[in-house]
Structure 1
Amino acid sequence: MYFGFTSEQLALRENLRDVLVETCPPAVVRNAWRDSPGAVPRLWKQLGAVGLLGLLAPADTGGLGGSEIDLVCLVEECGRFAVPGPLGEHIAAAVPALAAAGTAEAHAAIAGDVVVAVQEPGARRVRWVTGADLLIYPDDDGLGLAARADLDIDRWPSSVDRSVPSAAVTPARARTLPGADAVLAQRRATLAAAAQLLGLADRMVTMSTEYVKMRTQFEVPVGSQQAVKHLLATALVSLEHARPVVYRAAWVLATGASNPELAVSFAKLYAQRAAELAARTALQCHGAIGYSWEHDLHLWMKRVWALGTAWGTTTAHEDVVAAAVLGTPC
Structure 2
Amino acid sequence: MAHPSLSEIPHLLQRISEEARAHFGEGKVANYIPALANVKPNQFGMAIACVDGSTHTVGDAHVPFSLQSITKLFTFVLALRAEGDALWQRVGREPSGAAFNSIVQLETENGIPRNPFINAGALVITDILTSRYVQLDYALLGALRRLADDPELHWNPEVARSEREHADRNMAMAYFMKSHGNFHNDPALVLDNYCAQCATEMTCAQLAQASMFLANDGRDLTLQGQPDEHFLTADQTRRVNALLLTCGAYDAAGDFAYRISLPVKTGVGGGIVAVIPEVGTVAVWSPELDAKGNSVLGAFALERLVQLTGWGYSSV
TM interval, shorter chain, is: under 0.3
TM-score by length of 1: 0.27
Higher relative helix content: 1
Of structures 1 and 2, the one scoring higher in RCO (CA 8 A, sep 6+) is 2
Rg larger in 1 or in 2? 1
TM-score (norm 2): 0.28
